Copies of this chain bind each other. A is one copy, B any other.
Amino acid sequence: MSGTRWLSDEEQRTWRAYLASTQLLQEALERQLQRDSGMPHAYYTILAMLSEAPGRALTMTRLARVTMFSASRLSHAMARLEEKGWVRRVKHGQDRRTTMAELTPEGFAALEAAAPGHVQEVRHRLFDPLTDEQTRQFRDILAALTAAYAREGHESGLASP
C-alpha cells in the first residue's frame, strides 16, 4: 500500500459534506422518533418491515435481511420490542430452527401513530430541500452506489495474486 491515491480537494469537500449531511439527517430522524414516539429509528424500521410482510410476519432471518440488521442486533432488539408488546415470536412448525416474528395489533398501532411524524421529517429534511431534478439525480446516484455493492458481493473471488 505504498502509492496511496488521496482524495482531491473537491473529493475531500464532498466526502465531508456526505459525513455531515448523513449524520445530521440520522440525528434528526432519531430525535424526532424518540421525542414523539419513544422509539429509536431501528425499532421503527423493524415494525415497518413487519407491517409490509404478508400476515405482518417474517422469519427472523428474513427480517434481518430486509432491515439489514445482524442476527444478533435483531435478536436483542426483538427482545426489547417483545417486552413492549409490539411484536411476538413464535416457533415455526415445519422447520423448528426458525422463529416467526410477528407484529401485534399494539405494534401496528404504535407504527401507525409514529408514521406521519416520521414521514414528515423525512420529507422535510431530505425531499423538500431538493429540486425535482436533484431528486432524480440523487436516486440514480444511490442506485449506482448500491449496485456497486451488489456486484462486489457476487464477484467475491476475483483478482487473485
Contact B144 A129 (CB under 8 A): yes
Least distance between A36 CB and chain B CB atoms (Å): 10
Q: Which of A107-122 contact B (CB under 8 A)?
A: 115-117, 119-120, 122
Does A21 touch B at the CB level, under 8 Å?
A: yes
Which of A83-91, A93-101, A146-154 lies on the face that meets chain B?
Answer: A146-154
Contact B146 A141 (CB under 8 A): no
Determine how many copies of this chain the complex contains: 2
Does A76 touch B at the CB level, under 8 Å?
A: no
Contact A126 B145 (CB under 8 A): yes
Contact A18 B142 (CB under 8 A): yes
Does A75 touch B at the CB level, under 8 Å?
A: no
- In chain B, what residue has the closest Cβ to A69? B23
Question: Would you list 28 pairs from A and B whose C-beta atoms are within 8 A, ordered by A residue?
Answer: A4-B115, A4-B119, A5-B120, A7-B119, A7-B122, A7-B123, A14-B135, A15-B122, A18-B142, A19-B68, A20-B68, A20-B146, A21-B142, A21-B145, A21-B149, A22-B22, A22-B26, A24-B145, A24-B146, A24-B149, A28-B149, A125-B145, A129-B144, A129-B148, A134-B137, A134-B140, A134-B141, A134-B144
Residues of A within 8 A of B (CB): 1, 4-7, 10-11, 13-15, 17-26, 28, 45, 68, 115-117, 119-120, 122-123, 125-130, 134-135, 137-149
